[in-house]
Amino acid sequence: MELQKFIDSFASLFEGTDAISFSPQTRFKELDEWSSMLTLATIAMTDQEYKVILKAADFRDSSTLEDLFLIIRSRLV
């Protein structure tokens, strides 16, 4: 699993935020477009692409995209 691939997949969920705005240090909850719907879309994307189900606590405990990536990577079989 590659960090950049995860970031690209995450960025594709956003319609109004330019893809170049995303990096490992992006504080995703501070993005104007971030919402509960994008939380659900992120959960669906990680389930489909990585077979990992993120929980509310995972988002609460994460600040950056790299934080989310590390959680997902830690749960891969």
The CA-to-CA distance between both ends of the chain, in Å, stands at 11
Question: From CA 23, how far away is CA 69, in angstroms rounded?
Answer: 11
Average pLDDT score over residue span 16-27: 94
What was the pLDDT predicted at 1? 73
The token pair that represents 19 in the structure block: 């893809």
Residue 24 has pLDDT above 80, yes or no: yes
What's the rounded mean pLDDT across residues 43-51? 97
**For the residues of 44-72, what is the DSSP string, one character each?**
HHHHHHHS----HHHHHT--SHHHHHHHH
Mean pLDDT of the chain: 95
